[in-house]
Amino acid sequence: MVAETDPITQSVQLLAQSIHDAHDEATIRTALQQVCTLQQWVDNCKVVLTRKLQVLATTTPRIQPQQVLASAANISRIDAFREVSRAKTLGAFPQLEQAFEQGRIGSAHIDAVARATHQLTEGEKAKLASRSDWLNNVATHATPDNFARAVKSEVERIHADGGVTRLERQRRDASLRHWIDRESGMFHIAGRLDPENGLRVIGKLDNTVERLFHAALPETCPTDDRKHGHLNALAFLELIDAASLNAPLTAGAMISSPHARAEVSVVIDLHTLRSGLHEHSIVRTGHEAELPLETIRRMACEAEIIPVVLNSKGVVIDIGRASRLATRYQRKAIEAMYSHCAIPDCKVPIAQCQPHHIAYWRDEGPTNLNNLVPLCPQHHRNVHEGNWGLRLSASNRALTVTYPDGHVSTACPTNLKPQERISNE
């Protein structure tokens, strides 16, 4: 007597037949839907098994869920990490897990939540989890891409500081590693940077590629889809060589350097630039990188980006003016008055500081000496993104700093006598 075929085998056999018989759009669409249903069931099984591995790992330290998944399922370590992340994410959002088990949402929806919550604090994750009803409703009615955008917007709303804290965490999470591939014998370099520094690197690479290869491509350049990567590699080497000949390396438009060339353009509407984000804000970096508004304002002040400013109708009304930057003579004058950062008790050398507008340029603050002070990169971030208040005395350049906690301190330029007066030019 022939044993009865189990339901799983029957489903696979029916799917195989559907794939074989699919010859037009309707039958192919039906077969794809059947494949997706089976895939959702498989993904759910992986979550269940991953959780069992996690339970075993608590009593048997030698068991590493990620390693077991990679070896047993013959997948990469990155894919194994993704499986573990899905299990953890579903555990934190029970309603999403129920929808996932019922096949109403897929793994891509869960991955979107995992990515959005990766760098949240436990308190922030709890705030998002309290919105489980909303998450479940959006997930079951939206594509994974639209759901990812909705979750990202909700995470931004949770960040009461406009994403500044997240950017600080991203800065601390920056890393770079390298290794030699055994098969090719070539060096591999992989890293991750926060959005601000990532945009700076991309901008420098793009400009270097344009400068080196605008007239002609090198003989080594491939003609297929490897071309862009090859040119980027050559530009990277050029930047490394140039840096080694021009030490010390310092970020931004430093006091003792010539005007820094802007490397990236950011499209932003005037209302957002001046007053903050609103319902119809336009902020585009040209990449998927997201930057807090105060960071964009600071970068514009440092001339590391050129803001392309739009009016309410989307018409370009300003593309970064040179008047935003301190002139060579103004930089020399600042260098003569200060030996280090203007913030009280900061000893970062003047050569590593950046001219800062006390009255912001975006608010029509002039690029005059009585509106400029040198700030080190850290304190420049504190002023723009940390709500530090600055006031400069026109008579003796005494700088008063009001910190977020209300504390106030004052300092005068180290190389300037109190009785000296400063020109407004």
Tell whether 34 and 160 lie within a shared domain: yes
CA–CA separation, 317 vs 361, rounded Å?
15
Position 304 confidence tier, pLDDT thresholds 50, 70, 90: low
Write down the pLDDT at residue 259.
Answer: 40
pTM above 0.85, yes or no: no
pLDDT tens for each residue of 254-293:
555 444 444 566 778 878 877 777 777 878 776 666 777 7
* Residue 198 structural domain: 181-245
Q: Which pair of tokens denotes residue 289?
A: 């990188």
Question: Taking Cα atoms as reference points, which of 227, 233, 235 lies closest to residue 211?
Answer: 235
Residues 282 and 341 in one domain: no
Cα(98)–Cα(60) distance, integer angstroms: 29
Q: Which of 168, 203, 224 is the last residue of a domain?
A: 168
CA–CA distance from 243 to each of 70, 177, 251, 255, 411 (Å)? 41, 20, 12, 18, 34
pLDDT in tens, 315-339: 655 555 445 567 666 777 788 788 8
Let me know if residue 284 belongs to a domain: yes
Is residue 419 very low, low, confident or very high in pLDDT (cuts 50, 70, 90)? very low
What CA–CA distances, in Å, run from 379 to 25, 233, 355, 356, 373?
A: 61, 33, 12, 10, 11
Domain check: are 153 and 43 in the same one? yes
Residues 33, 68, single domain; the answer is: yes
Residue 196 has pLDDT above 50, yes or no: yes
Tell me, yes or no, whether 147 and 104 share the same domain: yes
Residue 266, H or E segment: strand 264-269
How many domains does the chain fold into? 4
| 108 and 16 fall within a common domain | yes
Same domain, 161 and 50: yes
d(CA 111, CA 107): 6
Which residues share a beta bridge with 374?
Answer: 355
In a domain, 303, yes or no: yes
User: Per-residue pLDDT for 155 more than 50?
Assistant: yes
Tokens 């600071």 identify what position?
A: 298
Residues 56 and 130 in one domain: yes
Does one domain contain both 11 and 143? yes
Q: Are residues 318 and 332 in the same domain?
A: no
Q: Is residue 50 part of a domain?
A: yes
Mean pLDDT of 209-231: 87
Task: Give the pLDDT mean for 208-234.
Answer: 88
In a domain, 423, yes or no: no
Do 227 and 353 lie in one domain? The reply is no
DSSP conformation letters of 181-228: -TTT--EEEEEE--HHHHHHHHHHHHHHHHHHHSS---TT--SSTTHH
For strand 408-411 and strand 399-402, is the pairing parallel, antiparallel, or unpaired?
Answer: antiparallel
Does residue 417 lie in a domain region?
no
* 157 falls within a domain: yes
Residue type, 77: R
Place of tokens 């013959």: 74
DSSP 8-state secondary structure symbol assigned to residue 247: P
Model confidence at 386: pLDDT above 80: yes
Q: pLDDT tens-digit profile of 106-137?
A: 899 999 998 888 767 788 888 888 888 888 88
- Residue 156 sits in the same domain as residue 194: no
What are the residues whose beta carbons fall under 8 Å from the beta carbon of 405, sequence distance 6 or more? Answer: none
